[in-house]
Amino acid sequence: MSTEPLRIGDHLVSPDHYIDGARVPGQRSFELFSPIDQRVLGHVAEGDEEHVEAAIQAAQRAFASWSALTAAQRLPCLERFADEIGRRAQALCAVESTDAGVLLSRMQHGVVPRAMLNIRWFARHALELQDRPIDTEQARHIVRHDPAGVTVIITPWNAPLMLSTWKLGPALAAGNTCVLKPPEWAPLTCSLLADAADAAGLPPGVFNVVQGTGATTGARLVADPRVARVSFTGSVPTARRIAQAAGANLVPCSLELGGKSPFIVLEDADLDAAAATATLMYRNAGQVCLAGTRLLVHEQVADEFVARMRPLVDQLVIGDPREEATEVGPIIHPRQVERVQGFVDRAVAGGAKLLWGGGRHAFGALYFSPTLVTNLQQDDEIVQNEVFGPVLTLQTFGHDDEAVALANGTDYGLGGVCYGETAHATAVAERVRTGFIWVNSFGIRDLAAPFGGIKRSGIGREGGEWSFEFFCDVKDIVLPKKPFRASFAHR
């Protein structure tokens, strides 16, 4: 079935899949709308069994030649890929802002430059993964990072461009070929990413995009025995289904999942700085997995902290994310708005107190007011489970041990924030069980550093050599230093 290109402002986006270097239409399609105003944007091709089969076959064929290249030989092509992303910056910004409701200013100043860096940095870092010798008394070991094979990448709707390139960068640089399944609620920048790859001259089949739902298209991809790796960012329930399907074929999975991160404010914290950073947790309408959504504040400074945070929240500009002044945009989908509202309503019904917010904002149907809930128990649903909206909780503590107990008292362990005198905050941070934690800061990321969570927040680490450890098969070639004579004694 032929589908018409989608027009987003001055930009046209193909609604078709990208398989083996060509656009491929689908027999079925699904409707796409903008969370900004719920305006229908058009229809996007939905992948079926035939598309999944074609994409995996294309990736298999391309793997033989792509994996045979050295990192230095792949580098120019991936550098061009990063350049082509930059050439499409205006389109990528406009499209993702409209498609996913992301702030246009954030796309311009943060996401697109980061997407380019994701491809370029990993392509260059792969050069450092040459054969590494390890010398022992008995032998010289040559450690290689070999390409693993066909890689399936599944990304979420809150940051489709950034997270797609975050995974594609190391996967392609390692010599793998990829099939990307974009989020069905916000697939359009992944389609533009295919245009960039095509213009950069990535060989056919090295990078494929198959659109569709997780329950059908995604499920077929992750269950295919020809797949060598699965990299997923999203929810815990979906991750369980992916792990079960991939596990049947013993396929390694990298799972970056939800967060319920603590934001600890110690009694010796700079309250102005802490309050300003806490207000940032409402960005992207709270649809950020690593946000510190549980405010844990020392009882001696809790009232003052709230008093300093409230005017900052009141000043937040809620509105159309395409406007320069906007600081909080819409929630992605009506189902997600209902989910967020349900968490708040149940908390209030159970005795929680609203300090501000609590419901939909007057700007539009998918806009939710920044909300702070207090008078909570540690086992309350809203404390324990990820809301994924502009909703924070507030609990107080009397000493460091209590702060640590509250921080560690959920099934999640992605990130965290700790404000206080540097040595004091660092000592507390060391006791918080998360994959990472920021001291007197938030959001500082370096591609060389590990990223990922513990407990229900995921399996594995992304970034730097950790990405290559996942996307590669690590092999040890052993060269004995003395003549070897076979003997049962060597067993």
Three-state SS across 387-446?
A: CCCCEEEEEEECCHHHHHHHHCCCCEECCCEEECCHHHHHHHHCCCCCCCCEECCCCCCC
Active site residues: 256, 289
What are the Cα distances from residue 199, in Å, to 61, 82, 87, 175, 361? Answer: 20, 11, 10, 19, 42
Nearest to 125 by CA among 461, 451, 466: 466
Cα–Cα dist 224/246, whole Å:
8
Q: Hey, which residues does 412 pair with through a beta bridge? A: 455
CB of 372 closer than 8 Å to CB of 357: yes
Q: Bridge partners of 178?
A: 151, 207
Strands 438-439 and 417-419: parallel
What SS3 state is found at 21? coil
**Do the beta carbons of residue 428 and residue 266 sit within 8 Å?**
yes
Q: How many CA atoms lie within 13 A of 324 on its CB side?
A: 0
Residue 105 to residue 36: CA distance in whole angstroms: 15
Neighbours of 417 (CB within 10 A): 31
Supply angle C-alpha 172, 178, 184, rounded to 5: 125
Locus of tokens 């917010």: 357
Beta strands 227-233 and 472-480: pairing type?
unpaired
- What does residue 40 show for φ and ψ, rounded to 5 degrees? -70, 130
Collapse the DSSP code of 255 into the 3-class scheme (helix H, G, I; strand E, B; otherwise coil) and give the result.
strand
Find the DSSP H helices in 280-333. 302-314
Number of H helices, E strands in the chain: 16, 24
Query: Between the CA atoms of 318, 319, 322 and 326, what dihedral angle is there, to the nearest 10 degrees?
Result: -20
